[in-house]
Structure 1
Amino acid sequence: MSRTKLLICPYCGETQSESERCTSCGGLFEPLSRQATHNAMGPWYIRDVGQPFRPGCSHDTLMMLVDRGVVTRTTVVRGPTTRQFWTVARRVPGLAHRLGYCHACDARVDAGDESCHACGAAFSVYFDRNDLGLPEIRPLPWEDASAAGAGRQHHPASTNEWMSMGGRLSSFATDEQLFSQSAGHSAGTIAAPAPMPVTNGSALETHDDRMPTQATINALQRTVQRQERLVRRLGIVAAVAIGIGIIMLIMILMRGGAESAANSAREHLSEKPGTAADTADTDDVAEPARTSASSGAPAASSTSSSATEHA
């Protein structure tokens, strides 16, 4: 029975079958895409519930997203100038002025201004890609100041400095074993590890330290497109609802007019039988009169005849 080979996307952490593109974030696993992403990575993060695991970007990438309209004044971001705390973009030093706002007083400014004309705040730009902008460690009230800051204020710049401070190269092997002489390496030096072969995303080990910026940009663009599609759908639904309402109103008005016409017709028909009855009654009254007149005429004739005979 064959086993399906799985890999973890180095960009969003999605577990999936082996492929050339992530099924979740759409990032490519090929070397150039990873290289381009590394070039654009940095300490700036954009909050997106649709892609919560994407890497940070550099200030240049952030400005490109501003120019594209992906990052707006209401976008929630964090970076070196916010000490890595989330806040709205119009309050972020180094970013707010590109959106037309002063981060200090919220006055309207131009994107090319170097300082605020209202409060005088300088619009500095933070270009360091490897500095998170975190403040120095300050012990909490219940912590010992010496213990809290021990070993954390200074970071050794090299392996030799770390070893001079009493550190070890590895927790699994002694320094003597690691510094064992081999062909081509002198004593006291560490052999550089051989570069790992680059594949098209077929192994997890080749992806664990690669994160593409292109995938981040694609994810942001897809989020904007989803929002635009949602707005269009809501507009269509609203238009259909308005059309149905208008049709129903017309039908109600037409039904009311038909009922009014029917009522008028019924009233007209109810008036006609009354007129016929009145005419019939008048004829009945006139008929006895004609009968009496006709019956009286012979009587008059007989009277005239009697008078003639008597004469």
Structure 2
Amino acid sequence: MGVSVNAQEVEDSEYVKNVKSLCRTVTIRQSRFYERPDMLYWLFPNYYREKRAVKQIHNFTYSVINSRIQTLQNSTNDQNDSEGKAVPFLDMLLKSTVDGRPLTKEEVREEVDTFMFEGHDTTGSAISFALYLLASDQDVQDHALEEQKTIFCEDIHRPSTYNDLQQMKYLERVIKETLRLYPSVPFYGRKTDQPVIYKGNVIPEDIDIAVNAYEMHRDPEYFPNPDKFDPTRFEAMDGTKPYCFIPFSAGPRNCIGQKYAMLEMKSALSKILRAFRLLPTVPEHQIKLTSESVLKSYTGIYIRVLKRTF
């Protein structure tokens, strides 16, 4: 967004706390039939928790937007300064028009909210589960490390380049297999905008549909021995069944940031793999899954790390 929020230095971020609170509240509401109707929801404490979290999240997002607007206004050589440099996504939003008019601040805020939320929690979940699975399977970890050695050669600790990330084919399979077993967003909601024929039955228009990606990814018809962590299974996937693996959803409403997310996850996992050997705890930690919009372990994710020496 072109604005520094010092995320790595703030251990107890109010924004992060409010995002987690909102995700938890929404998930609880979905599971309680008596809280679902809007006419009843205001009677329950979760309504006020949700309103408070949403207000504080929006305030934070507006502060980011206002900070960037102020920076742009104070820049007297904006055009010259930006030549040859990547343009922050927020700048593009602020300069965009729809039917000849600029986006309102609320419309910009909606887009920024989406990217700021989806850009950190989902990838954080996937990276955490990937580290846990790599620690649990030393053969897979060794194979991934060998690929890193081949790419980086003698300069094993240099920063990754875009070309390096494109060469990490096995690490990409590791990430895909992680997302198969532990999809960051395990459930999707869709609404039909026209009647749909499905297995001889008609689903009417305006019907809410829940898509259970977690269960779909463990269907033995498409993934033999589905509970086994096996990145090599993605060597044989030829794309003829694109809807059996949907960690980023699919179709016209799929995740707009999936290519960026894959690069982000490769970059982080590559850096960690080259710096540390990942090992399970003793006794091995058992994760217990919960979905708070994003899939997590409510018992945490614990592994051991040993610094590598080459």
Q: Same fold per TM (> 0.5)?
A: no
Normalised by the length of structure 2, the TM-score is: 0.22
Normalised by the length of structure 1, the TM-score is: 0.22
Give the structure with the larger strand fraction.
Answer: 2
Give the structure with the larger helix fraction.
Answer: 2
